[in-house]
Structure 1
Amino acid sequence: MIDDEQAAELVRAALHMPPLAAERQLLTQSGNCIFRVDLPEGQSTVLRVSPHRNAFAHTGRNLGILREMELPVQTVLASGATESGGSFIILNWIPGRDLAYELPQMCPEQMTRVAETVTEYQKRVGCLPRSNGFGWAPIGGHPTFAQWTNIFGEPANDSIAVDATPLAQLRARLRAVRRSVEPHFASLSPTCFLDDLTTKNVLVERGELQGVIDFDTVCYGDPLMSVGTTLAHLAADVGEAGRFYGEELIRCWSPRVDALRATRFYAALWLVGFVAAADAVGEIARATELVGIADVMLSLAET
């Protein structure tokens, strides 16, 4: 990838303006490098660089559609190919930090406003024309999965072994919950939603929502998956300080019993994934903590 100096030069060449400073951001987005680049007169930009040539092929169009729907999204200032065969995109800077970092300082009223606003954004996006397939695509695209359940792989019916590891036990329980939510999956049509709008990509400053980011693709399927993913990140990364926000998201969506169970399945799915990731790198204490969190979420889904 590139360093700060190369990032500044890329922005200078693309915008024909002399950068004052470039600083790599400690974020990860699908292998992208992300920089904040400051320009004269108090302006700042975001530079995203990917090793893939077509990483941002649909980002500008997606953002344009979302802006027309009055979502506070970024504007593309420039984009193109890098000398190494990858691609870059430059966007305006939106102040604030990811919601996960702001929740501990937020009061309940602020959490409610953000939850209601994020839900409203998702419901606006859900009014876009539906797709012919399920999964990830640019807005108006047609992903290739014929059914929503297909994105989770083939279902299995194996039982829990007596000597199974905690992770194996969680996975077996997760498979059982999945079987119970298959009727909900079968009832779904491919509705557009912003799957990565969770505790990240929702930028908040002093308790107020400033904007939403990262729309290279959208997802067609069940919008409640974004709620489940948010619940998982709240439980794993924020803890008690984020519990009320999760409750407010569920209140805003008011899912029926079958949809609520599916939402908790999505949360458990991500949590079990977090356990597996911690276990794989030998983070025993973190894996043990996450096993307990995933157990609680699975218990809610099982009832």
Structure 2
Amino acid sequence: PSSIERMKTGICNEVFAFKVEGESYILRMNNDISQMRGSSLFTPKLAALDIQVPRIIADEYNIEKEGYGYQIQERLPGTDLGNVIQDLAEDQLKKIAKEIASIFKKLSTLPTDGSYGLVLDENGAKFSSWKEWVYDDLDSAERHARSTGFISEIRDLIEQVRAVVQEYEEYFFSVPSTTYYGDIAGKNVLIEKGTFTGLVDLDALAYGDPLEAVGRIYTSWHGTEYGKIYSDAVMDELELTKEQRDIVRMYALFHRFAWMCENGVAFNANTSGIIDAEEATKDREKIQKLLEEIERDS
């Protein structure tokens, strides 16, 4: 390679960007191939739906050969939406939102096996109902906070967040198993010169409620003008009802709480393992604002 650079985003795989004869590529590595092999299954499916995704040039999932599995992919132009969204014009945000809404619609046409949750391979997801996934994810967030000792600072929020989520238990039972891509907010959505250029990091799809992923978008930039323009545009393109938008806001609270609980958890070399007090304060403020918004409009 003429150049190689370790990418500092992502918490599952070790990722490097490199160039050979002027062409750019991505190398992804993991000694747990279950975290990565899904790309080889899902990338062709998304490409067949006319969704812009990177081609896989070479891959190896037998870790006995090198001690790890790897993928070499073409590198699509652009950077994560989260790096540039604050600089985008309203018309650019709305065009990107239209592309993202189109991805939701296309993925919903892929059949599921009736299971719910994260899908890493052809075996489907692990839960038999959407409610199971919701509470497992909530429990996982609390385990993260407990593992770092951070839980002692957020016990009051745990009760408030769980109370809001529990109001939707009947709804959770009614959610059909639908295919969608969850991690579609600040990361993995590539933007070049204000234009959507592709979707990356396709190791997992999800079966369940696509509004959960819209909630991630809503909460990612909640309280900013550009965030409101973008999330409103996504919801408008999906033609969400008032009731569905309320559900999105519940998921927004759900995810902001889960992300806060990851503070201080060392996932890989990109995460420090030290609780960031300033970030914790910001997260608490964001959660309080979402709680106030939900209560005001209920």
Q: Deviations over 1:164-214 (max 9, x none)?
A: 976222211111111111122111111000111111100001110011111
Q: TM-score, normalised by structure 1?
A: 0.83
CA separation of 1:76 and 1:92: change in aligned 2, threshold 3 A? same
Alpha-carbon contact 1:44-1:93 (below 8 Å) kept: yes
Distance (Å, rounded) in 2 between the aligned partners of 1:169 and 1:260 = 26
Query: Equivalent residue of 1:153, what SS?
Result: helix
- Deviation of 1:138 after TM superposition, in Å, equals 4.4
Alpha-carbon contact 1:136-1:217 (below 8 Å) kept: yes
Distance (Å, rounded) in 1 between the aligned partners of 2:242 and 2:275 = 37
User: Are 2:41 and 1:48 equivalent residues in the alignment?
Assistant: no
CA separation of 1:261 and 1:168: change in aligned 2, threshold 3 A? farther
Distance (Å, rounded) in 2 between the aligned partners of 1:288 and 1:219 = 31
Aligned equivalent of 1:177: 164
Query: Equivalent residue of 2:198, what SS?
Result: strand
CA separation of 1:278 and 1:139: change in aligned 2, threshold 3 A? closer
Query: Equivalent residue of 1:216, what SS?
Result: coil
1:128 to 103, 110, 113: 110
Aligned equivalent of 1:228: 215
Quick check: which has more Rg, 1 or 2?
1
Aligned equivalent of 1:38: 19
Query: Equivalent residue of 1:77, what SS?
Result: strand
- Deviation of 1:53 after TM superposition, in Å, equals 3.5
Aligned equivalent of 2:247: 262
Distance (Å, rounded) in 1 between the aligned partners of 2:2 and 2:152 = 53
Q: CA RMSD in A?
A: 2.3
Aligned equivalent of 1:8: none
- Deviation of 1:37 after TM superposition, in Å, equals 1.1
Q: TM-score, normalised by structure 2?
A: 0.84
* Structure with more relative contact order (C-alpha pairs < 8 Å, separation 6 or more): 2
Aligned equivalent of 1:101: 83
CA separation of 1:259 and 1:182: change in aligned 2, threshold 3 A? farther
Q: Deviations over 1:134-172 (max 9, x none)?
A: 01114764212111010122799xxxxxxx976222211
Structure 1 letter corresponding to 2:39: T
Distance (Å, rounded) in 1 between the aligned partners of 2:275 and 2:121 = 39
Structure 1 letter corresponding to 2:16: F
- Deviation of 1:112 after TM superposition, in Å, equals 0.3
Distance (Å, rounded) in 2 between the aligned partners of 1:66 and 1:185 = 27
* Runs of 5+ unmatched residues, structure 1: 1-18, 157-163
Structure 2 letter corresponding to 1:182: E
Distance (Å, rounded) in 2 between the aligned partners of 1:182 and 1:256 = 19
Query: Equivalent residue of 2:126, what SS?
Result: coil
Query: Equivalent residue of 2:71, what SS?
Result: strand
Distance (Å, rounded) in 2 between the aligned partners of 1:140 and 1:131 = 10
Distance (Å, rounded) in 2 between the aligned partners of 1:276 and 1:58 = 26
Distance (Å, rounded) in 1 between the aligned partners of 2:209 and 2:243 = 13
Aligned equivalent of 2:69: 87
Structure 1 letter corresponding to 2:57: L
Aligned equivalent of 2:206: 219
- Deviation of 1:301 after TM superposition, in Å, equals 3.0
Q: Deviations over 1:262-295 (max 9, x none)?
A: 2112111121123333478442232122111111
Aligned equivalent of 1:14: none
Aligned equivalent of 1:26: 8
Aligned equivalent of 1:201: 188
Query: Equivalent residue of 2:114, what SS?
Result: coil
Q: Deviations over 1:228-281 (max 9, x none)?
A: 112222239xx4443321221222223334432321121111211233334784
CA separation of 1:282 and 1:74: change in aligned 2, threshold 3 A? closer
* Runs of 5+ unmatched residues, structure 2: 140-150, 266-273
